[in-house]
Amino acid sequence: MKHLKVTSVLLSVAMCMTMAVTPVMADETAPEQPQTTEDTQEKETEEQEAAPSNEDDKEPESVKGQIPEEKAQTEAEDAYLAKGKCGKKVKWTLDKKGTLKITGKGAMNNYRILTGYSDGSSVPVYFSNTPWDKNRSKIKKVVVSKGITAIGEFAFTFCENMTSVSLPKTLKSIRTGAFNYCHKLKKVSIPKSVKTIGAGAFDSCGFESVVIPNGITSISNYTFDGCKNLKSVTIPSSVKSLGSNAFSNCDSLTTVKIPFAGLLSIGYEAFSGCKSLTEFVVPITANGFGDYCFAGCTSLSKFGVNAKQKGLFPSHAFYKSGEFTYEVNTYAMSGDEFDVGPITYKVSNPAINGTGAVHVFSIGKDEENVVIPATVEHTDESGKTVKYKVTGIVGTLYEYNTSKKLKTLVIGSNVSFINDNALLGCPELESVTGGKGLKTIGAKVFANCPKLKVFNISSKTLKKIGANAFEGDTALTTLFIRNTTKLTKAGVKGSLKGSSVKTVKVKKSKVKKYKKFFKTGNCGKKVTVKK
């Protein structure tokens, strides 16, 4: 790296330091002193030491007279070009082979990109304030040791001779610009422990493929922009958004492996300039698309979308892209509704590998006895049948004038939650049973159901009964939750307030523990807990 101009102030300081260490020369006109016997012996010793010898048999001056332990320590220290700290509890060493090791615990420091100008030039010089910046051209390999939780911002930017990096399973975050402009970095394996990747983290790197670990929820702006050699990328269903320019200018990109459902949005210019990309299938969950998101994809020939998605792309989404044909699928999207029997379902998770998930949204107003199934099948307009798990009850049913005649409700085994107020005010409801997989009962779920007499839930996993869940239920005196083992004090706080419940029947082994939870001050009602 070219040196920046040195200011006059720095030159003055440097000159002062030079004068301070300049040795005082002996007076050349001083009379010559006669040699003593000790002087003669010293001269003879010097002549002997100056005599020719076998260089391989000589020890370095730095280790002469040292004991083995001291000698080993000196040799180890000599192996390092430089070392220091790069975090509160993090250290670094750079050896003569070009391996930069990061050791310790916790997060690395964040750094910055700086600019300057070399002498007589108007062209800016870019560098960073990392402690190894002056040696960055010597860095060939980076090894981040176990214990490190975050790669600092711009930590390894411009390390253009780095060819490999090893990341630990303790790593949780790769911050902004961490590896950008590492052109020779041919391979990267991102640990499953990583949950966030910052903007431009791998901008202009040289690797050919990358797998995003499951658990990451977004790919930030410019994360893989300018990765000219990138051919394949694998994106998990946990990723909900692709940021602006996330994969722009990836000249070699041909394969984007992305689940059929999961992704919600594709940002501005996300894949712009990916001139080798020939086909792309948009996840059926996606409903937000930035302008120019596929601009300049000159080889694009096939593009799979949902019928509704086709009208969501902005006017310049495919600016200067290749001529392609839409391959329209007819799968449902998140939020779509369909009826099976007396129940209206709302899609929460479209079909992934043939099986999706739906929630109960409403029940026919004339239905008296309803069984919510564990699964439901729906045939779309193309004739394809998809199976969905029924995982929740979300509609505030009384608001839609439904379930006014409902007397008995059997909850399917896959239903894990019932939203707040979902069955509030069902005037004829008498019995609620089932619910083997139920985990959460929301606030006021069954409130103001004056004829409700039976509440018998078979769940082993029930963790929460919301506040005022049975408020105003004058006929309900006993709760049967005999199988549950997961309830907590916080999970039943206020749950029986305003109710007529007098007895809670639970598993024998939980009677003593649950008595502490179902106390007046916590659940809002004096009750007896027994098996």
pLDDT tens digits, residue range 298-347? Answer: 999 888 887 778 889 999 999 999 888 776 665 666 678 889 998 999 88
Which helix (H) or strand (E) covers residue 516, if one does? helix 511-517
Please tell me the predicted confidence (pLDDT) of residue 100: 97
pLDDT at 51: 41
Would you state the pLDDT for residue 35?
41
pLDDT at 59: 43
Residue 434 has a pLDDT of 96
**Backbone phi, then psi, for 303, in 5-degree steps?**
-145, 110
Answer yes or no: are the C-beta atoms of 381 and 394 closer than 8 Å. no
- CB atoms closer than 10 angstroms to residue 61: 7
d(CA 473, CA 446): 8
Domains of the chain, CATH where assigned: 78-329 (3.80.10.10), 337-530 (3.80.10.10)
CA distance 107 to 86: 9
Q: What's the rounded Cα separation, in Å, for the pair 377 and 338?
A: 10
What is the reported pLDDT for 402?
60
pLDDT tens by residue, 2-53: 333 333 322 232 333 333 333 333 333 333 333 433 344 444 444 443 344 3
Output the pLDDT for position 80. Answer: 82
Integer Rg of the chain from CA:
36
Q: Give the Cα separation of 354 and 274 in Å (integer).
A: 30
Q: Which two tokens stand for residue 54?
A: 């076998």
pLDDT at 281: 85
- CA neighbor of 136 nearest in space, from 170, 111, 172, 171: 111
Predicted confidence (pLDDT) per residue in 277-288, tens digit: 998 888 878 899
Rounded CA separation 210/201 (Å):
13
Q: Which stretches in the chain have pLDDT values below 70?
A: 1-78, 118-119, 327-334, 351-354, 380-384, 396-402
Q: Specify the residue for token string 């048999």.
A: 57
Q: Are 390 and 417 in contact (CB under 8 A)?
A: no
What is residue 122's predicted lDDT score, i.e. its pLDDT?
A: 73
* Res 380: pLDDT: 67
- The pLDDT of residue 244 is 97
The alpha carbon dihedral of 70, 74, 75, 77 has a sign of positive
Enter the pTM of the model. 0.57
pLDDT of res. 58: 43
Give the pLDDT confidence score for residue 68 in this predicted structure: 57
CB 186 within 8 A of CB 208: yes
pLDDT at site 261? 76
Question: Which pLDDT belongs to residue 50?
Answer: 39
Helix, strand, coil shares, percent, the chain, to 5? 15, 30, 60
